[in-house]
Amino acid sequence: MIFDHILIRFGEISTKGRNRIKFVEQLRRNIQNVLTDHEGLKYEVTRDRLYIHLNGQKHEDIAEKLKPVFGIQSFSLALKCESDVEQMKQASLEAIRNLYKKNDSFKVSTRRADKQFPLDTNELNYEIGRHILINTEDLTVDVHNPVINLRVEVRKEATYITCFDYKGAGGLPVGASGKAMLLLSGGIDSPVAGFLTLKRGVAIEMIHFFSPPYTSERAKQKVLDLTKELTAYCGEIKVHIVPFTAIQEKIRAQVPENYSMTSTRRMMLKIADVIREKQKALALITGESLGQVASQTLESMVAINDVTSTPVLRPLITMDKLEIIKIAEQIGTHSISIRPYEDCCTIFTPASPKTKPKLEKVSRFESFVDFDEMIEAAVENTETVIIKMEEKSNDFESLF
Ligand code: ATP
Ligand code: MG
């Protein structure tokens, strides 16, 4: 293989002003993390590009691993040469010789980051194109719709010749926008909410409420498996498993049935907020979608959200179920979410939960119980596991 580099374009990051350096550093770390198995790669960062020197390694595996990395707009295989016209001509010829098939058309598109370069882009396109035509057979020029678009990026330090762009995952590098805690059930919605938040550069940790013996080990395993799917986008994820049985039983015994769902959600949010603070995260995330179920009306949100002033991110709030399912299928979580094991809410779901609960009422019902002590115990007994990234065979192409 003649290409010795991968050239990575940042897209959205380039526009982020003073934060840019931080963003690019985070992206470089994230890329290095997914490529730890590939020894000998060299990384170089410039203002608006990141280069990976392949050092003789095959590009295919590396390209696959770059596809789910958020913050990459696109990337290309590249051949590096000195910023000297003769060298550019020679390298472009070598690159195209490796690529073309009989009767292919091509064009040369030069871009000068170095505006001081003596030849302008038209002159360079002409010089390089002519050199290719003279030294090859069965190639024609087509400036409108070429089979091969050979791009020549001229920079002060070096010139990179590229073709074949891969689409990147877009978004922002995970970790560049801080950290938040995702309330992860075993359902379809919350993993999708996690994926969308990761895409905006937010690192996540999971919080799962677990109610044995009402919910089984297999329900817990489902949550760990869902987490594993999401590690493809961020390396590793911490999962906090909170024992929730005592609180759910207490709610069932003390709070009127039609308010039990509201109360359950309030307790979840309170506990999640304590764990969030301990883990130094800035926000909570849920998979709620407006009007989907009784606990997801605006009135319910008023009554539930009252327990904390921490921002609660709800990436799915305006999405239809079908739109959510489509993403779940693409990111590989749907088939896990539809496994039949019950989660703690399904088991305790009242027959007719209030769709318009009143904050004063739920607060009064809860005031007869010392929930604070129970919340403290639940946090104390929370089990934390770390899920590491696994090789995946997702069809990232169709996703982005
Ligand atoms: P999901 O598909 O994510 O379960 P849902 O449409 O079933 O969502 P609910 O069951 O009402 O909706 O849950 C709303 C949100 O509350 C979930 O998206 C999730 O963020 C959180 N949640 C519900 N149950 C749990 C749980 N056992 N552990 C952690 N979070 C939960
Ligand atoms: Mg659910």
What is the DSSP annotation of 373-388?
HHHHHHHHT-EEEEEE
Atom 4 (ligand 1) nearest CA:
187
- Find, among 400, 351, 309, 389, the residue nearest to 74 by Cα: 400
The sign of the CA dihedral 80, 82, 87, 89 is positive
Ligand lying closest to the C-alpha of residue 285: 1
* Cis, peptide link before residue 350, omega less than 30° from 0: no
Q: How far apart are the CA of 208 and the centre of ligand 2, in A?
A: 11
Closest residue to atom 23 of ligand 1, CA basis = 185
Q: What pLDDT is stored for residue 199 in this prediction? A: 97
Most informative mutation of 189, 224, 275, 290 for ligand 1 (most atoms within 8 A of CB):
189
Q: Quick one: tokens of 197?
A: 């938040």
**Tokens at 104, concatenated:** 């292919």
339: helix, coil or strand? coil
- Per-residue model confidence (pLDDT) at position 73: 95
Report which ligand 1 atom has the smallest distance to the Cα of 188: 2
Q: DSSP code of 172?
A: B
Task: Report how far ligand 1's centroid is from the alpha carbon of 286 (Å).
Answer: 7
3-state helix, strand, coil split of the chain in percent (to 5) is 45, 20, 35
**Of the residues 182, 184, 190, which should be mutated to test ligand 1's pocket, given the most ligand atoms within 8 Å of the CB?**
190
Convert the pLDDT of each residue in 79-136 to its tens digit: 999 999 999 999 999 999 988 888 899 999 999 988 999 999 999 999 999 999 999 9
CA of 183, closest atom in ligand 1:
30
Map 236-301 to HEC letters. EEEEEEEECHHHHHHHHHHCCHHHHHHHHHHHHHHHHHHHHHHCCCCEEECCCCCCCCHHHCHHHH
pLDDT at 344 > cutoff 80 = no
Rounded distance, CA 232 to CA 191, Å? 13
Average pLDDT, integer, range 55-69: 92
Give pLDDT, residue 340.
85
287 is in an annotated binding site: yes
Residue 396 has pLDDT above 60, yes or no: no
Contact 183, 272 (CB under 8 A): yes
Q: pLDDT (tens digit, 9 = 90+) per residue, 385-394? A: 999 987 655 5
Q: How confident is the model at residue 65 (pLDDT cuts 50, 70, 90)?
A: very high
The structure tokens 């009064």 sit at 364
Three-state DSSP class for residue 230:
helix
Distance CA 385, CA 372 (A): 25
Ligand 1 test: best mutation among 183, 262, 269, 305, most atoms within 8 Å of CB? 183
Average pLDDT over residues 173-179: 95
CA 7 vs. chain centroid, Å, equals 20
Buried b (16+ CB within 10 A) or exposed e, 38-72: beebeeeeeeebbbbbbeebebeebebbbbbbbbb
Distance CA 270, CA 256 (A): 20
Tens digit of each residue's pLDDT (9 = 90 or more) over 231-272: 999 989 999 999 999 999 999 999 999 999 999 999 999 999
> Average model confidence (pLDDT) for the chain?
92
> For residues 38 and 329, what is the distance between their CA atoms, to the nearest angstrom?
30
Quick one: pLDDT at residue 345?
Answer: 62
Which bound ligand lies closest to the C-alpha atom of 321?
1
- What pLDDT score was predicted for residue 398? 57
> Which protein residue's CA is at the shortest distance from atom 31 of ligand 1?
185
Judged against a pLDDT cut of 90, whether residue 47 lies above it is answered with: no
Please report the pLDDT score of residue 8 as a whole number.
96
Q: Is residue 334 annotated as involved in ligand binding?
A: no
Instruction: Tell me how far the alpha carbon of residue 137 is from its chain's centroid.
Output: 45
- Residue 55 reports pLDDT greater than 80: yes
pLDDT score of 270: 98
Q: Which ligand is nearest to the CA of 287?
A: 1
Q: What is the mean pLDDT of residues 53-72?
A: 92
Ramachandran area for residue 364 (φ above 0: left; ψ -120 to 50: alpha; else beta): alpha
Low-confidence winner among 6-10, 91-95, 235-239, 350-354 (lowest mean pLDDT): 350-354
**What spacing in Å lies between the alpha carbon of 395 and ligand 2's midpoint?**
26
